[in-house]
């Protein structure tokens, strides 16, 4: 029995595989077992979650709102620029650079979006100073009391 793509020179059967006819995508590439995959994948996810937690707690309400928004816009701009570079048909190097732009910008956005920017503290004194007087029916200020 012949499997699909048997005549493709880049697809070869893996002699180490316990499954007959197992395909390796690249000639000479080794296969990765599920245990090897999870042994790398799970610690990577845990370390990334710890990085997000560390940055989020260290910068909690320490970054001004304006700086936070500038970071968000910069990262979104990096994602858009990377996608444009990946879709342009003129030079192959743009695809490689665009991929890294998207990758780094997405990782940065995931971390940065967990930062809580500094908010303006609302106290009774600042609220009273910023609240305009109530207007009566004729446009004049309402009487106090």
User: pLDDT tens digits, residue range 91-130?
Assistant: 889 999 999 999 999 999 999 999 999 987 766 666 666 6
pLDDT band at 43 (very low <50, low <70, confident <90, very high): very high
Phi, psi for residue 100 in degrees, rounded to 5: -70, -35
* pLDDT reading at 132 higher than 90: no
Question: Residue 48: inside a domain, yes or no?
Answer: yes
Across the strands, what pairs with 24?
A: 12
38 and 107 co-located in one domain: yes
Could you tell me if 49 and 76 lie in one domain?
Answer: yes
Is the pLDDT at 135 greater than 80? The verdict is no
Q: What is the mean pLDDT of residues 42-68?
A: 95
Q: Give φ, ψ of 139 to 5 degrees.
A: 95, -10
Q: What is the mean pLDDT of residues 47-69?
A: 95
Same domain, 82 and 109: yes
**Is the pTM above the cut of 0.95?**
no
Nearest to 115 by CA among 48, 59, 72, 74: 59
Full domain range(s) for residue 4:
1-31
pLDDT class of 34 with cuts at 50, 70, 90: confident
107 and 50 belong to one structural domain: yes
Whether residue 143 has pLDDT greater than 80: no
């Amino acid at each position: 029995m012949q499997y699909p793509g048997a005549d493709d020179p880049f697809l070869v059967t893996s002699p180490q595989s316990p499954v007959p006819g197992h395909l390796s995508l690249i000639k000479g590439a080794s296969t990765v077992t599920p245990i090897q995959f999870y042994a790398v994948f799970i610690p990577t996810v845990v370390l990334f979650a710890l990085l997000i937690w560390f940055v989020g707690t260290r910068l909690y309400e320490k970054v001004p709102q304006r700086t936070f928004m500038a970071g968000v816009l910069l990262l979104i701009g990096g994602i858009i620029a990377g996608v444009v570079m990946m879709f342009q048909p003129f030079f192959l190097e743009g695809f490689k650079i665009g991929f890294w732009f998207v990758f780094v910008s997405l990782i940065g956005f995931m971390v940065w979006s967990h930062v809580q920017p500094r908010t303006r503290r609302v106290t009774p004194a600042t609220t009273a100073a910023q609240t305009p007087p109530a207007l009566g029916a004729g446009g004049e200020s309402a009487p106090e009391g």
